[in-house]
Amino acid sequence: MAELSTIARPYAEALYAAARDKNTVVQWSTALNELAQISSNEDVREVMTDPRLSKAQRKDLLLGLVKSALPAEASNFVDLLVENDRVITLPEIAEQFEDLKNRHEGSAIAKIVSAFELSDAQVQELLVGLEKKFGVKLKPEVTVDNSIIGGVRVTVGDQVLDTSVQAQLTRLRDTLAAQ
């Protein structure tokens, strides 16, 4: 959703700047990923919008679900999100925070979708070529989707490299339909 990403951007940027200044980027990365997972749960989303609960109760509930150690400022951050009814943006904030972290480190996430399970050796071989193409150190996130029939689809930032059989068939169909 474009709207959620627009809302999440200032939170992610401010949080990243503060974490970088205090040298707590790794802590915040872990905390945000966990908060994002929690807030993605449908039951949690429902509770976060329940008008019968006060904002303090929502904050306490959300923080109570976190298993890992949170940075000292996490309570204030969650309070801000709850107060502004922005808990729903946590997954997007976490994603943008990771993008900022990776950009600062000179790396990026490579979302690799394959029709079949890839071995570690195959992923590493693929990464060598992709890192040359994109010019950054890549961190792979591999998923399997048999609907692409064969090949791989790689997304790095807003760039997509699609060598899947499904994409080739779609291009062939579009070419034949244009004639």
pLDDT band at 83 (very low <50, low <70, confident <90, very high): very high
Domains: count for the chain? 2
Q: In the listed set 102, 135, 157, which residue is the last one of a domain according to the structure?
A: 102
Q: Which two tokens stand for residue 33?
A: 């990923």
pLDDT at 158: 84
Which tens digit of pLDDT belongs to each residue from 116-151?
A: 999 999 999 999 999 999 899 999 999 999 999 999
Q: Is 90 exceeded by the pLDDT of residue 72?
A: no
Q: Is 162 helix (H, G, I), strand (E, B) or coil?
A: strand
| Residues of the chain above pLDDT 90, percent | 91
Q: Is 60 exceeded by the pLDDT of residue 2?
A: no
- Domain span at residue 68 reads 1-102
Say if residue 89 is in the same domain as residue 164. no
- Rounded Cα distance between 88 and 48, Å, is 8
DSSP β-bridge partners for residue 142: 112
Which tens digit of pLDDT belongs to each residue from 19-67?
A: 999 999 999 999 999 999 999 999 999 999 999 999 999 999 999 999 9
Q: In the listed set 41, 72, 102, which residue is the last one of a domain according to the structure?
A: 102
The whole-model pTM stands at 0.76
pLDDT at 132: 94
Say if residue 45 is in the same domain as residue 133. no
Say if residue 89 is in the same domain as residue 3. yes
CATH code, domain carrying 75: 1.10.520.20
